[in-house]
């Protein structure tokens, strides 16, 4: 399996708590490329503390990186996006294009505080859906409210929410509880996307091959291709998941 697509990545320099310099961005992209990643959607935080870059700045820096890596990483595709921390103003910001959708598609990557209540999360998704975009819940394994009742993920799925898991969580890097939770969701078909959530080249690196091999072995080729290639490509094509 080749050509992984990473739809959650903080490797864009100087915009959030990810890559701090152009050189670090290039190093992250080189590492990803050597690991088999062929497409990266940069998703800097749109967050009251961790990220305030306007879409124009994001687009400009993505273009700088395209030019910088075109020879060392031939065929690598780079796109703009955001990881949107939900607050009451976010639906309006989405509607007014004050934040970036994933690769200019109809999908947005959304995160919450890990301790968010389920009723608040559900209400937020209703509000996001009301402005005509399709929400992807970032790192689904982080939200305590989804562990409390096994019917909550299916309830959000029925509402029109899609789910992204971090590769590190699938592999169990953060403990068995997350791994078991994601195992259940993968078996049930609720995970559409697995991404790196990369912030650097060491502790939170932009690699997917180990997780892709694990998912292929444990859950089958179809699931692996869906999570790492086919579903992300549907987002890039603005097609239904």
Distance between CA atoms of 1 and 138, rounded to whole angstroms? 24
Q: Residue 170: which residues within 8 A CB-CB, separation 6 or more?
A: 179, 182, 186, 194, 211, 214, 215
Distance between CA atoms of 234 and 211, rounded to whole angstroms? 20
Pick the CATH number of 4-236 from 3.40.50.880, 1.10.260.40, 3.20.20.140, 3.40.1190.20: 3.20.20.140
Find, among 176, 187, 180, 192, the residue nearest to 228 by Cα: 192
Question: What's the pLDDT at 166?
Answer: 98
Three-class secondary structure assignment of 77-126: EEEECCEEECCCCHHHHHHCCCCCCHHHCCEEEEECCCCCCHHHHHHHHH
Task: Give the rounded distance of the alpha carbon of 114 from its chain centre.
Answer: 16
131-to-87, 91, 134, 149 alpha-carbon distances in Å? 14, 7, 9, 28
Structure tokens at 75: 């065929």
How many other C-beta atoms are found inside a 10 Å radius of the C-beta of residue 184? Answer: 13
Distance between CA atoms of 193 and 34, rounded to whole angstroms? 21
Q: What is the CA radius of gyration of the chain?
A: 17
8 Å CB contact between 140 and 185: yes
Q: How are the residues of the chain apportioned to helix, strand and coil, as percentages rounded to the nearest 5? A: 45, 15, 40
The beta-carbon contacts of 233-238 under 8 Å, at least 24 apart in sequence, are: 233/5, 233/39, 235/7, 235/41, 235/102, 235/103, 235/105, 235/107, 235/136, 235/193, 236/5, 236/39, 236/41, 236/79, 236/103, 236/105, 237/105, 238/105, 238/106, 238/107
pLDDT (tens digit, 0 to 9) for every residue of the chain, 241 residues total? 879 999 999 999 999 999 999 999 999 999 999 999 999 999 999 998 888 899 999 999 999 999 999 999 999 999 999 999 999 999 999 999 999 999 999 999 999 999 999 999 999 999 999 999 999 999 999 999 999 999 999 999 999 999 999 999 999 999 999 999 999 999 999 999 999 999 999 989 999 999 999 999 999 999 999 999 999 999 999 999 9
In sequence order, what are the beta bridge partners of 85?
Answer: 111
199-213 burial code (b ≥16 CB/10 A, e <16): bbbeebbbbbbebbe
């Amino acid at each position: 399996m080749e050509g992984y697509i990473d739809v959650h990545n903080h490797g864009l320099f100087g915009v959030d708590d990810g890559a701090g310099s152009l050189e670090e961005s290039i190093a992250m992209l080189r590492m990803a490329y050597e690991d088999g990643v062929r497409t990266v959607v940069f998703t800097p935080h749109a967050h009251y503390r961790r990220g305030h870059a306007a879409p124009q700045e994001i687009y400009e820096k993505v273009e700088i990186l395209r030019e910088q890596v075109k020879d060392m990483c031939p065929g690598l595709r780079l796109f703009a996006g955001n990881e949107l921390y939900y607050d009451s103003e976010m639906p309006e910001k989405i509607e007014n294009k004050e934040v970036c959708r994933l690769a200019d598609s109809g999908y947005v990557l959304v995160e919450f505080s890990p301790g968010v209540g389920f009723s608040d999360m559900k209400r937020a998704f209703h509000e996001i859906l009301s402005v005509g975009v399709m929400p992807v819940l970032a790192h689904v394994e982080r939200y305590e409210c989804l562990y409390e009742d096994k019917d909550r993920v299916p309830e959000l799925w029925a509402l029109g929410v899609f789910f992204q898991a971090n590769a590190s969580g699938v592999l169990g890097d953060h403990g068995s509880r997350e791994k078991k939770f994601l195992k259940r969701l993968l078996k049930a078909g609720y995970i559409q996307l697995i991404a790196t959530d990369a912030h650097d080249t060491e502790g939170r690196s932009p690699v997917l091959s180990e997780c892709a091999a694990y998912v292929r072995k444990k859950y089958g080729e179809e699931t692996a291709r869906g999570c790492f290639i086919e579903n992300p490509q549907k987002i890039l094509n603005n097609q239904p998941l």
